[in-house]
Structure 1
Amino acid sequence: MSQIQPFPFVSVSGKPYDRGLQYGRVVASRVELSASRYGQTLRKLGYSEAAQRDLIRSLEQLIGEFAPAYLDEMRGIAAGAEVPYEDIVMINARTEVLAKARAEQAQAAEDEDGCTGVLVLPSRSATGQLIHAQNWDWKADCVDTGIVLRVRNDDGPDFLTFVEAGGLARSGLNAAGVSITANYLESDRDFTQLGVPLSLLRRRVLEEPVFANALRVIATTPKSCSNNIMLGMAEGFGIDFECAPDEAFPLYPGDDQMIVHANHWVSPIARTKLRDTGCESSPDSYYRDWRVRQVLNATPMVDRKAVKTALFDAFGTPYSVCRPPRPGTRHTMSATVAMIVMIPAAGEMDVAPLPALNRIFTRYSLQNEPLHEAV
C-alpha cells in the first residue's frame, strides 16, 4: 500500500465516450490497477473463457437496455486507460459478480464490504443544511484505486462522485441537491433474478434533476442482489431503501431527525418477509449504527465536524465504525478505505482516505478546485 495521499480529482465533460476517454487517460494507472483486481476475478475463480464471454454479454445486454450511453462511456474509459473493455464492465458489476461467485462456490465473503451511512435532516443540522455521509469499508489496498470524479453533464445536472477507478459512480451528489450512499446487504432472495448492476443505479440517481424520479429508480428497478441505498434531498428530506432484488422497504428519519444504517436489515416488514444472510461477514453491524447514533445524539445540533467525529468512532476496534487495516476473512487486509461527508446544498464532498490512520480531508466541489484540510 502506498503512502496515504488524497484521492485524485478527475473533472470531465462532453459526450459519454469523450468523457470516458478523458477519465481513463487522467487516472490510467488507477484504472489499470482496478482492472487487474476485478477484471481478472472470473479467471481466478476458474471460469472458462466461454463462461466469461457469456457473463460479459449478459451484463452488456442489461446495461444496454438500462442506459446504452453507459457502455459508450465504459468503452471510452477502456480506450483512455488502455485496458480491456470487458474489464471495465467487470469493475462496474463487481458487487454482483463477486457476490454471485461466493454464493455459487459456497465461500465466505472475500472481504467484509461493510459501510456505515448517516443522514442528518436540516432541522437537526447546525447550519440548516442536510448532511449525508458514509464510511466505506472494503479492501484496504483500494485506497490506491479510489478517485473523485466530477462530470460536467450536457444532459442533466453536473455531479460529483467518489468511486473506484473505472467505475461510473458510487457515493455522490449532484447540482440538483440529490445525494446517495449505499451499504452492503444480503438476503435469501439474492440471485433469484437478473437485474441492473447497483453501481449504475447510483449513477442514474446522480443524473436525475428531480428527486422523486431518483426515488423511483431505486425503488422499482430490478436488481440481482440486495443493497441498502440512502438518498438525500438538499431541500430537507432523506429516505433509506433496504432493497431486495425484487422489493424495496423504506425507512424514514426518526424522532432524532436522522437516518443511520450499517449492514443488517432493520425494516420490520422486511424482516418478516426475508432472511438476513449477511451476519457471518459483518456481525459488528449490529452495534456500528447504534454507536453512530449514540455519538450524534450527544450533540443537540449536528454539523459536519460532529458527523466526522461519529464516523471516527473506535468502539470495538478493529471491528469498529472506523475500521483500521486488519486481516479479512480471505487473508487480505480490510479497512475503512474512505470517509465521505457531503453537503448537497453546497455541492461539497469532504473525503479522507484510510481515516483510522489519517485525519486529513480533501474538500471536493462541483464549482471549485480541491482544498486539503486537517480535522
Structure 2
Amino acid sequence: MTIAPQSFPFVSVSGSPRERGRQYGEAAADRVRISAEIYASQLTDLGLDERATAGLISDFVPLMEDFGAHYVEEMRGIAEGADIPFEHVVLINARTEIVSMARLETGIPEDDPDGCTGAVILPSRSATGRLIHGQNWDWRAKCAETAIVLRVANDDGPDFMTFTEAGGLARCGMNAAGIAITANYLESDRDYKTRGVPLPLIRRKALEQQHVALAMRAVAITPKACANNMIVSQSGGWAIDFECAPDETFPLYPDDGLVVHANHWLSPVALSKLKDMGIPSTPDSFYRDWRVRELLQAKGRKLTAEDLKAAFFDDFATPYAVCRPPRPTARGNLSATVAMVIMEPETGVMEVAPLPAINRTFTRYSLADDPVELEAAE
C-alpha cells in the first residue's frame, strides 16, 4: 500500500553556489540520500560494479563543468551538506543518462520510464489573463519520498523555484522573470551515441535566464545525450514546445492558445528524420495528450488553474492514465504520477500535489512567501 505525503519539503537557499549547496544538502539530507540510493541500487541491479559505476559517473563531470562551473560547485556543496560522496550527487543529476547507458551495456530494457504530460494555457485562453503552465510527473512512486521544492535567491540572475528530486539542480520550475519550464520523456534512435549535458542542468540554466530568448537558447542548442521534450513559457504571453533530439531541436507552437505534450514525437519534421523509440514503453502517450486537450477545450474559451488540474486528474484507461495511480511494473517497481505541478509565473506561485491519483491536497509555494496548504481539489 502506498500512502501519499501531504506535501513536499520546502528548501530556501541563498549565497554563493557552494554555500547554497551546503544549505540545500543539510536541509534535505535524508531525501538526498534516498535519491542517491535509488539510482545507485539501479546500477547495482544492472550488474555494474563500483569501478564501472565510477567510470560512468566521472565521464559527466567535465561536461557539467564546461557547461557551468558553478553547477559543479553547488553539487559539491550538496554532497558536503548531506554528507554523501560528490559522485552520488552527480549520479542524481545525470541519472537519466547514466542509468540508460548502463542499460544499453547490459541489454536490460527500461520498464518504468520517466513519463509526464505537460500543458500551457496562454493568457488569451486564461480566465484571469495570466499564463498557466503545469505538468504531471510520472516516475517511480518511491520518489514521492525524495522530491522537494527548492527556492534559490540568485546573486547572478533572477530568483527561481524548482520542483526537483532532492539533490537535483532542477526539474520543472519558474523564475522571477516570468519564465517557466517543464519536461517530458522522449526517446529516439539517435540517443546515447555520444555524451551530452545532463537534462537537469539544461533546465536549471533556462531558469537562470532573465530573458526568455536566452532560456530557449539553452534548451534548443545544448548538446544532449538523449531525447527530451521541454516546454518553455513566459508570463507575458509566450510558450513553445521543443522536441529535442540529442543533436537537433524541433519547435512546436501553441494551437488555439494551448500547448499540450505527452511522450511521443509530434513534429512532422522530426518524424521524417528520426524514429520514435518510446512507444513500447509509453503507448498510453497517444491518448494522454489528446485527453488533456479535449478536456480543456470542453471547458470553454476561458480556462482556470482548476480546469488544468481537472484535466490532469483524468483517469481514463487507468492505470495507464493521465493521472497514474501506483501500479507495479514488469520488474516489481511501483510506477505512478508522483506529482502534479501547476504554475502561474506572473504571480510567482506554484501548487504541487504528491501522488495526485490518491491525494488531491495541494501546497502553494511562492517565490516571495512561505508555503501554504490548500483545501483538497474537487
TM-score by length of 1: 0.98
Aligned CA distance change for structure 1 residues 123 and 296 (closer, same or farther; 3 Å): same
Q: Structure 1 residues 305, 265: CA separation in 2 closer, same or farther (over 3 Å shift)? A: same
Hey, what does 2:355 align to over in structure 1? Answer: 354
Choose 232-241 or 109-118, whichever is displaced more: 109-118
- The 2-side partners of 1:249 and 1:60 are apart by 28
Q: Counterparts of 1:236 and 1:355 in 2: how far apart (Å)? A: 28
Mapped to 2, the partners of 1:2 and 1:83 lie a distance apart of: 28
2:290 corresponds to 1:290 = yes
Identity level (%):
58
Task: Count residues in correspondence.
Answer: 374
Q: Deviations for 1:41-92, whole angstroms, at most 9, x for unmatched residues?
A: 3333222333223222211110011011111111111111111111100000
Distance across 2 between alignment mates of 1:309 and 1:166: 31
Matched, 1:323 2:324: yes
**Deviates further, 14-23 or 42-51:** 42-51
Partner of 1:206: 207
Q: Which residue is 1:151 aligned to?
A: 152
Residue 33 (structure 1) aligns with: 34
Alignment of 1:335-374 (within 5 A): 335-373=336-374, 374=376
Alignment of 1:1-375 (within 5 A): 1=2, 3-254=4-255, 256-300=256-300, 301-373=302-374, 374-375=376-377
CA distance in 2, matches of 1:87, 1:216: 29
Unaligned runs of 5+ in 2: none
CA distance in structure 1 between the partners assigned to 2:316 and 2:57 by the alignment: 42
The AA in structure 2 aligned to 1:351 is: V
Distance across 2 between alignment mates of 1:332 and 1:40: 13
Tell me if structure 1 keeps the 8 A contact 2:118–2:136.
yes
Task: Indicate if the aligned counterparts of 1:112 and 1:329 stay in contact, CA closer than 8 A.
Answer: no
d(CA) in 2 for partners of 1:318 and 1:16? 41
C-alpha contact (below 8 Å) 1:40/1:87 kept by paired residues: no
Letter in 2 for 1:371: V
Alpha-carbon distance, 1:38 to partner: 1.5
SS at match of 2:8: coil
What is the rounded CA distance, in whole Å, between the counterparts of 1:148 and 1:324 in structure 2?
22
The answer as to whether partners of 2:313 and 2:357 remain within 8 angstroms in 1 is yes
Question: For 2:346, what is the secondary structure of its paired residue?
Answer: helix
1:3 deviation in Å?
Answer: 4.9
Secondary structure of the residue aligned to 1:346 is: coil
Query: Which shows bigger deviation, 108-117 or 363-372?
Result: 108-117
* Deviation readout 1:219-252 (Å, 9 max, x if unpaired): 1110000000000011100000000000000000
1:352 match: secondary structure: strand
Answer whether contact 1:35 1:91 (CA < 8 A) is retained: yes
Q: Contact conserved, 1:39 with 1:88, CA < 8 A, in 2? A: no
**For 2:105 and 2:91, how far apart are their aligned partners in 1?**
18
